[in-house]
């Protein structure tokens, strides 16, 4: 099974940078470059629902229909970064 970013769900093999960067400059095996750089999240205050909305918008900007974006991002709440969230953190 292909490794995916544990923040947004993008296959790491599709990341143009090959993955995000850890604080020491090494490639992250867990997060993509669109979510993670320098050992920190690029959207540190997002919750899972906000990340899903952000990803759908980015996919729409690349020409993908919104319903397809939703299909591709529906698993975000189950990724490692978001598993510790309480249900109240994902509602808006």
Supply the pLDDT for residue 13: 94
Supply the pLDDT for residue 87: 56
d(CA 44, CA 81): 11
pLDDT tens-digit series, residues 64-91: 999 999 999 999 999 999 998 755 444 4
pLDDT tens-digit series, residues 5-61: 999 999 999 999 999 999 999 999 999 999 999 999 999 999 999 999 999 999 999
Task: Note the pTM of the prediction, 2 decimals.
Answer: 0.85
Supply the pLDDT for residue 57: 97
Q: Where are the alpha helices (DSSP H) in the chain?
A: 48-61, 66-73, 87-90
């Amino acid at each position: 099974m292909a490794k995916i970013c544990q923040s947004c769900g993008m296959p790491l093999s599709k990341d143009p940078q090959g993955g995000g960067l850890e604080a020491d400059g090494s490639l992250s095996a867990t997060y993509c470059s669109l979510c993670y750089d320098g050992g920190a999240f690029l959207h540190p205050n997002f919750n899972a629902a906000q990340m899903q909305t952000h990803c759908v918008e980015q996919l729409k900007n690349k020409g993908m229909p919104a319903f397809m974006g939703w299909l591709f991002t529906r698993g975000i709440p189950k990724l490692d970064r978001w598993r510790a969230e309480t249900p109240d953190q994902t509602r808006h």
